[in-house]
Structure 1
Amino acid sequence: MDTNGNSGRGGKPTINDIARLSGVSKKTVSRVINRSPLLNEDTRKRVDDIIRATGYVPNPQARALALRRNFLIGLVHDNPNAQMVLGVQQGILGVLKGTEYELIVRPVDRGSTTLVADVRSFLERQRLHGVVLLPPISENNGLAALCDSLGCRYVRMGSADLDDAAHMVASNDREVVRDAVAYLAGIGHRRIAIITGPQGFRSAFERRQGYEEALSAAGIAPNPGYAAEGNYRFESGLAAARMLLAQAPRPTAIFASNDEMAAGTLHAARMIGLDVPADLSIIGFDDTAIAAHIWPPLTTVRWPIVEMGKAAARKLLAGTIDEQPEMPGDALFPSQLIQRASTAPPK
């Protein structure tokens, strides 16, 4: 044993050393490490001081065994918007940095008849501390009930409130799309089209509702020929925009329900010789890197997806590490319209 009281292999202190130096049992040291509430503050402080002084690092495998949970946060999704998934990952990883927790990503098939059984198998096999559910599967109440039944923390992400604040991070899609389309109407556009997201996505529904509410408020009668469905991918935006631009009269503005489809819309306009924004104004949604990098730079809705990912991770870690509060309450993360060069008054 060295002068620091280290008797472990390679001079590293063990949990037995911490117990001996603190004058408590190994079980008490374990309770301090695992932040058990069944301790008085004097004991907790004494053990924490010894841990810091000796540089003791708890064995994560042993802790996981004791807690019957691994130090893993799951991200479960069935989302065709790759930039959205990457943004959520960025936010979660930013919170997990410097902690014992790691992120594990699991794509699933929302249309599968075995979806709930597949997620159950994943949660039981990995023994996750908690899981973030992305839309559209976050809208599945059966998955939330499954997490509850397994004692697995969960946070649902969506375009509208689906749960209580401890289990939810949401954006105001309907409201901000209403503002975006109202902006187009305000600068003189009357023939405003929409490329929606895929059926079954709450985000697609909320954004379509915002579009329709803005038209109604501006006194613009909806034109069935000015709506086309996409799937949040570039190719679908290209195909939908070509259909919309073939209408007579042609729309003077298109709201695309994400930036990938807005980029496809820009491409479709150039294929037939239209100038953006002189002949066609375009607005997207997300404010991913593509929005500022294409020409002209895209007017779009900035979706705070990274901040939503951070909030989801904080909710899952609430009360488990010193830096996180017991019950973070923020559930709504407003988006905002970012005006760039792809919009202008109609000719």
Structure 2
Amino acid sequence: MTETIEAFLGRGRKATINDVARLAGVSKKTVSRVINNSPSVHARTRDDIAEIITRVGFRPDPQARGLAFRRALLIGLIYDNPNAQYIVNMQMGALDRLRGSGIELVVHPCTWHSETFLSELRDFLESQRPSGVIVLPPIAEDRQLLDLLEELNVPRVRVTARTSGDGNAAIGREIVSCDDIGCAEAGAHVAGLGHRRIGYIGGNPDYPSAHVRRHGFETGLAAHGAAIAPDLDEPGNYSFESGYAAARRLLRRPDRPTAIICANDEMAAGAYKAAFEADLRIPGDLTLIGFDDAPIADRLSPPLTTVRLPTRDMARMAADLLVSRPATADQTMTVPSALIVRGSSGAPKAGL
């Protein structure tokens, strides 16, 4: 066999799977099974084929492998989220882990409340046949979607703001969550500066994160004897436009807030615009707090005080769970958040 390999190497051409099969004296299908880590090949035969593959420098064609063994080459990212930067960070984090692995990321945006939500997802999963999926909030909470993944036997990692009491933990294999403790730190920071007329622009109530973040902010405020003023509590939708509209309503009040806490940085950026139009200085006239620590936070003037959510790290961890862990392993991973104090927070003016 050695002479045959040396003779082949002397030809100076690129090895194919047929060459490997001929040199090993086995079928092409057996070589394919070894490449795809099938347990059905005898250990001695596997070792012989692996040695030949190494010596002749054979490299499997990823596209050919994709046709024959599609599930090993794709991880899906499923989402419905209005925050574009959040989605970009999630994609980048997953790609950080998958780069160089031979596994590709395929993204699938969807519309959660549409009539075709589940049927379109079924079509996606059955046509692409991913080896696993990362499911982002808020659809990570959808029981029907999780049941569909269970039915199709698709491994998944839910990225969610909570890890228990949601009715989904029993069928979730792995969950990456953020404890949002940074929200409590942010609430304590605002109250500690002396603010008492505190407004709030919340997230979409369909998202568990909206409730978890609010609870964290309220906990931090209460620790310093403060609270969100009931008349300064505005709904938002995690978008720039919703933050701008809510902040305009708050800042037009004769007894306007001296501080506004926003459930994400996009809405906080909208509040900056409303403050500028109202001729208010930040933080001299108005303190603003966000959540995410998105790139925009450090680009605003002054830079935004916010709670850092390690979104990219969470996606990288989720992809790693799918690539490195057994599909049947139950695991919950909690990622901490943290307050990042910048120039948008300060003490209220005397008398306010």
User: When the two structures are superposed, what TM-score results if normalisation uses the length of structure 2?
Assistant: 0.88
Q: What SS class does the counterpart of residue 332 from structure 1 fall into?
A: strand
Q: Which amino acid in structure 1 is aligned with residue 175 of structure 2?
A: M
* 1:257 positional shift: 0.9
| Corresponding position of 1:97 | 99
* CA distance in structure 2 between the aligned counterparts of 1:16 and 1:319, rounded to whole angstroms: 33
Q: What SS class does the counterpart of residue 77 from structure 2 fall into?
A: strand
* 1:42 positional shift: 5.4
**CA deviation profile, 1:210-247 (whole Å, cap 9, x unmatched):** 22333333323542211111111112111111111223
* 1:271 positional shift: 1.2
* CA distance in structure 2 between the aligned counterparts of 1:221 and 1:154, rounded to whole angstroms: 39
| Corresponding position of 1:48 | 50
| Corresponding position of 1:345 | 347
**CA deviation profile, 1:57-114 (whole Å, cap 9, x unmatched):** 2233443444363622211111000000000000111112112221221111111122
Going from structure 1 to structure 2, the CA distance change for 1:263 and 1:36 (only over 3 Å counts) comes to: same
* CA distance in structure 1 between the aligned counterparts of 2:277 and 2:7, rounded to whole angstroms: 73
Q: Which amino acid in structure 1 is aligned with residue 345 of structure 2?
A: T
Structure 2's unaligned 5+ residue stretches are: none
Is 1:171 matched with 2:178? yes
* 1:50 positional shift: 2.4
What are the residue-to-residue correspondences of 1:101-250 with 2, within 5 Å? 101-161=103-163, 163=169, 166-173=173-180, 175-250=181-256
Q: Note if contact 2:162-2:179 (Cα within 8 Å) is conserved in structure 1.
A: yes
| Corresponding position of 2:8 | 5
| Corresponding position of 2:276 | 270
| Corresponding position of 2:285 | 279
Specify which of 289, 297, 301 is matched with residue 303 of structure 2: 297
Going from structure 1 to structure 2, the CA distance change for 1:7 and 1:130 (only over 3 Å counts) comes to: farther
Q: CA RMSD of the aligned region, Å?
A: 2.7
Q: What SS class does the counterpart of residue 301 from structure 1 fall into?
A: strand
Q: Which amino acid in structure 2 is aligned with residue 250 of structure 1?
A: R
Specify which of 6, 13, 16 is matched with residue 14 of structure 1: 16
* CA distance in structure 2 between the aligned counterparts of 1:4 and 1:77, rounded to whole angstroms: 53
Q: Note if contact 2:190-2:221 (Cα within 8 Å) is conserved in structure 1.
A: no
Q: Note if contact 2:173-2:330 (Cα within 8 Å) is conserved in structure 1.
A: yes
Going from structure 1 to structure 2, the CA distance change for 1:333 and 1:7 (only over 3 Å counts) comes to: farther
Going from structure 1 to structure 2, the CA distance change for 1:41 and 1:225 (only over 3 Å counts) comes to: farther
Going from structure 1 to structure 2, the CA distance change for 1:74 and 1:6 (only over 3 Å counts) comes to: farther
* 1:15 positional shift: 2.0
Q: Note if contact 1:318-1:326 (Cα within 8 Å) is conserved in structure 2.
A: no
Identity of paired residues, percent? 46
Q: What SS class does the counterpart of residue 257 from structure 2 fall into?
A: coil
* CA distance in structure 1 between the aligned counterparts of 2:115 and 2:225, rounded to whole angstroms: 44
* 1:45 positional shift: 4.3
Q: What SS class does the counterpart of residue 194 from structure 1 fall into?
A: strand
* CA distance in structure 1 between the aligned counterparts of 2:113 and 2:328, rounded to whole angstroms: 36
* CA distance in structure 2 between the aligned counterparts of 1:136 and 1:62, rounded to whole angstroms: 36
Q: Note if contact 2:198-2:259 (Cα within 8 Å) is conserved in structure 1.
A: yes
Q: Note if contact 2:136-2:158 (Cα within 8 Å) is conserved in structure 1.
A: yes
What are the residue-to-residue correspondences of 1:72-91 with 2, within 5 Å? 72-91=74-93
Structure 1's unaligned 5+ residue stretches are: none
Going from structure 1 to structure 2, the CA distance change for 1:247 and 1:44 (only over 3 Å counts) comes to: farther
Q: Which amino acid in structure 2 is aligned with residue 331 of structure 1?
A: M
* CA distance in structure 2 between the aligned counterparts of 1:6 and 1:45, rounded to whole angstroms: 20
Q: Which amino acid in structure 1 is aligned with residue 174 of structure 2?
A: H
**CA deviation profile, 1:174-226 (whole Å, cap 9, x unmatched):** x2212211111122112221111112111112112222333333323542211
* CA distance in structure 1 between the aligned counterparts of 2:301 and 2:228, rounded to whole angstroms: 30
Q: What SS class does the counterpart of residue 103 from structure 1 fall into?
A: strand
Q: Which amino acid in structure 2 is aligned with residue 186 of structure 1?
A: G
Q: What SS class does the counterpart of residue 12 from structure 1 fall into?
A: coil
